[in-house]
Chains A and B, each alone.
Chain A
Amino acid sequence: MSDRGDHQVSEQIAAVKLTAITKRFGSVVAVDNVDLEIADGEFFALLGPSGCGKTTTLRMVAGLEFPTEGSLKIFGDEAGTLPPNKRPVNTVFQDYALFPHMTVEANVAFGLKMQRVAKQEIAGRVQEAISLVRLEGLEQRRSQQLSGGQRQRVALARALVNRPKVLLLDEPLGALDLKLRQEMQGELKALQREVGITFVFVTHDQEEALTMADRIGVMNEGELLQVGTPAEIYEHPVNRFVANFIGQTNLLDASVVSNDTVCLANGVHIPGKSDLPVGTRVAVCLRPERAGMHPPEEVPADQQSVVGRLESVTYLGNALVYTVVLGWARLEVRRENQPGGYRPHVGEEVAVSWTLDAISVVRA
């Protein structure tokens, strides 16, 4: 259960530390009392649906918005009210925001020029940054003459050339098509390892967050709901929203009977660990790939099950997704497409089963 992020945070100064940060726009609360520590060298993802406050949070770290309340520290220094040009952070903007009237080279050199770095040093560092993102030969192009992927690299080089202490990325892959996006996921990760800078990126794509980030912070409606490694968040979501937002899941309505028993909505008591008070409305979270399926009379003795009627089968090639209707709920079961095995037909009675460690009990 221990994650490396927490260890680092406790040992050294956090790269970014938000304490009780709130941002209001008029009467709208965009970010609500958020506490967050991001460790030095970490690849951190802020994940959430549109309008959840993740971009506002990132913009506060960048200095493009000032927090209404709370404290924001960057490597121990209070930065909440510093203007963006006084912060040791740089941003890769969602649409890259390359300066259209400048060449690639001039775009990359801009930050150094503004900091009055010596001309010779600028030339060297710009070349270095351009080769870091593999854009050699395109120095004299303008952004209009570049593809989406190339623009993204320019934006990365333009930020990294300043050797920021924290690099902020706002939906860095959002404008790219699927194939390029997957390619860039790996590249960004490799780049982060190479430069060793703390990356904080904002995304609404849970898959992107899971594959790239060391730790993820899930936000919704301005609140930071859960922070943890991808595995923690996927396997032990704190509530229904997180369970639903990260990956596919089945949620069965239930209530807490004791600290190791819950009562499903159909009245059946099943084992289910939780530390919530008796009577709390909860949901039993069962991932489709963790559910088993058997003929009703052949459920293994060590497994819990519910019986329903098979409504449909979706053929995915490498897997099959079975939809089972229980009357009071509907479950999806995902089975790898392997030869042999149990292949029920639509309309048959089937038992959906699980072992105790396959489920988690989350707040409804």
Chain B
Amino acid sequence: MSSTVQPRGTTKIALTAHSWLVYLFFFAPIFVLIVFSFSDDRNVGRWGGFTLEWYQDFVEHSQLQNAVWVSVRVALLSTVISVVLGTLAALALERFKFRGRKVFDALLYLPIIIPDVTMAVMMLLFFAEFFDILESVFGWDAQKGLGSITISHIAFNISFVSVVVRARLAGMSEVLEEAALDLYATRWKTFRYVTFPQIVPGVAGGALLALTLSLDDVVITQFAAGPGATTLPVFVFGLIRRGVTPLINATSVLMLAASVILVALSLAFQQFSGRGGRPSLRAARQAVSAPSTTNTQIKEGINQ
């Protein structure tokens, strides 16, 4: 039954043990976190019997609740805006040739590459300068808060959205758009009825990724947040400095759950929806059309 590449004997035992160690390394802290969020003892790490007290605390803690809502608002707003801008950027880069395209492409990746701290300091300085200008020109004394956090989140989310959408666009043949134009569709209708339905999985995946990144971000938010508003992760970070209680565990567990759900949705979207339809169908199609597809590809290769 077993193929020749399957490891055997000691190798197999060592590899299995190693896998389990990796999983232990990954999941033990999470397990501990979850377990002690139910512990009836103020000291984290000491089991004092089961309680839901900390979750109740979380619900009743007004500052925490406030932070949760700031987080949600920032996440939703920055996601919507960055999805629109990121998708437009992806379309421009994938479909059009224009002067400065390479530069734009490189710049778009920058927020993904540069360290968070650098980005955060940049944001801090930017807002300081920007608010100065606002005050001297318009006399508006702007403060850091919800707006500045949202703007900074948009700044990094655009990059992630456009990367995900571009991957999807790259897999979509331009010929489909040409076909739509040939069939009397205007540019807008081509986008509306052909391009967009094709890239929806990418857009949705990008949106969920943006949402997750926004909800998780600490470093950049900390520099962009002001006295007026702070997000949940930043607030938790502040709480820790005042001593760790299982309240933090409970909060972390809830954040973890939210993130896991979003990432899972994001993956599911990219995996299953869109052009292939149901996975079983896609497999069937590939099985049926494999030879003709290959022919076509070869022909394209020759023809170009």
Residues of A within 8 A of B126 (CB): none
Q: Are B176 and A147 in contact (CB under 8 A)?
A: no
B182 interface residue, CB < 8 Å from A? yes
Chain B nearest Cβ from A264, distance in angstroms? 36
Within B206-251, which residues are at the interface with A (CB < 8 Å)? none
Q: Are B281 and A110 in contact (CB under 8 A)?
A: no
Q: Which of B9-17, B30-38, B183-191, B252-260 lies at the interface?
A: B183-191
Residues of A within 8 A of B198 (CB): 100-101
Mark each residue of chain B from 270 to 304: 1 if its CB lies under 8 Å from any CB of chain A, else 0: 00001111000110110011011001100110111
Given A99-B176, A176-B292, A145 and B281 contact (CB-CB distance below 8 Å): yes
A360 interface residue, CB < 8 Å from B? no
Q: How far is the CA of A93 from the CA of B299 in the complex (A)?
A: 13
Out of A97, A144, A174, A177, name the residue touching B175 (CB < 8 Å).
A97
Main SS of the interface on chain A? loop
Given A175-B292, A177-B292, A55 and B303 contact (CB-CB distance below 8 Å): yes
- Chain A's closest residue to B282 (CB) is A144
Q: Are A144 and B185 in contact (CB under 8 A)?
A: no
Q: Are A144 and B285 in contact (CB under 8 A)?
A: yes
Residues of A within 8 A of B197 (CB): 101
Q: Are A51 and B303 in contact (CB under 8 A)?
A: yes
Q: Are A162 and B296 in contact (CB under 8 A)?
A: no
Q: Which of A33-41, A82-90, A123-131, A224-232 lies at the interface?
A: A82-90
Residues of B within 8 A of A55 (CB): 303
Mark each residue of chain B from 149 to 180: 1 if its CB lies under 8 Å from any CB of chain A, else 0: 00000000000000000000000010110111
B181 interface residue, CB < 8 Å from A? yes
A332 interface residue, CB < 8 Å from B? no
Chain B nearest Cβ from A52, distance in angstroms? 10
Interface size on A, residues (CB 8 A): 38
Q: Are B299 and A174 in contact (CB under 8 A)?
A: yes
B93 interface residue, CB < 8 Å from A? no
A95 interface residue, CB < 8 Å from B? yes
- Chain B's closest residue to A204 (CB) is B303
Given A114-B184, A177-B292, A97 and B303 contact (CB-CB distance below 8 Å): no
Q: How far is the CA of A55 from the CA of B186 in the complex (A)?
A: 23
Q: Are A95 and B175 in contact (CB under 8 A)?
A: yes
Out of B176, B178, B189, B281, name the residue touching A114 (CB < 8 Å).
B189
A91 interface residue, CB < 8 Å from B? yes
Q: Are A110 and B183 in contact (CB under 8 A)?
A: yes
Q: Are B182 and A85 in contact (CB under 8 A)?
A: yes
Q: Are B178 and A95 in contact (CB under 8 A)?
A: no
- Chain A's closest residue to B303 (CB) is A50
Chain B nearest Cβ from A61, distance in angstroms? 11
Out of B183, B184, B277, B296, name the residue touching A95 (CB < 8 Å).
B296
Q: How far is the CA of A244 from the CA of B182 in the complex (A)?
A: 35
The interface centre, meaning the residue of B179, B194, B275, B302 with most chain A CB atoms within 10 A of its CB, is: B179
Residues of B within 8 A of A101 (CB): 197-198, 274-275
Q: Are A64 and B181 in contact (CB under 8 A)?
A: yes
B20 interface residue, CB < 8 Å from A? no
B193 interface residue, CB < 8 Å from A? yes
A62 interface residue, CB < 8 Å from B? yes
Given A114-B184, A144-B285, A97 and B176 contact (CB-CB distance below 8 Å): yes
Residues of B within 8 A of A97 (CB): 173, 175-176, 178-179
Q: How far is the CA of A239 from the CA of B216 in the complex (A)?
A: 71
Residues of A within 8 A of B183 (CB): 85, 90, 110-111, 114, 158-159, 162
Within A144-160, which residues are at the interface with B (CB < 8 Å)? 144-145, 147-148, 158-159
Within A43-97, which residues are at the interface with B (CB < 8 Å)? 50-51, 55, 62-64, 83-85, 89-91, 93-95, 97
Q: Are A84 and B292 in contact (CB under 8 A)?
A: no
A171 interface residue, CB < 8 Å from B? yes
Given A90-B182, A93-B175, A111-B184, A148 and B292 contact (CB-CB distance below 8 Å): yes
A27 interface residue, CB < 8 Å from B? no
Residues of A within 8 A of B292 (CB): 148, 175-177
Residues of B within 8 A of A158 (CB): 183
Out of B181, B281, B295, name the residue touching A144 (CB < 8 Å).
B281
Can you list 18 A-B pairs with a CB-CB distance of less than 8 A? A63-B182, A85-B184, A91-B179, A95-B175, A95-B296, A97-B173, A97-B179, A99-B180, A100-B176, A101-B198, A101-B275, A111-B184, A114-B180, A114-B189, A144-B289, A145-B285, A158-B183, A171-B303
List residues of A whose CB falls within 8 A of some B CB: 50-51, 55, 62-64, 83-85, 89-91, 93-95, 97-101, 110-111, 114-115, 142, 144-145, 147-148, 158-159, 162, 171, 174-177, 204
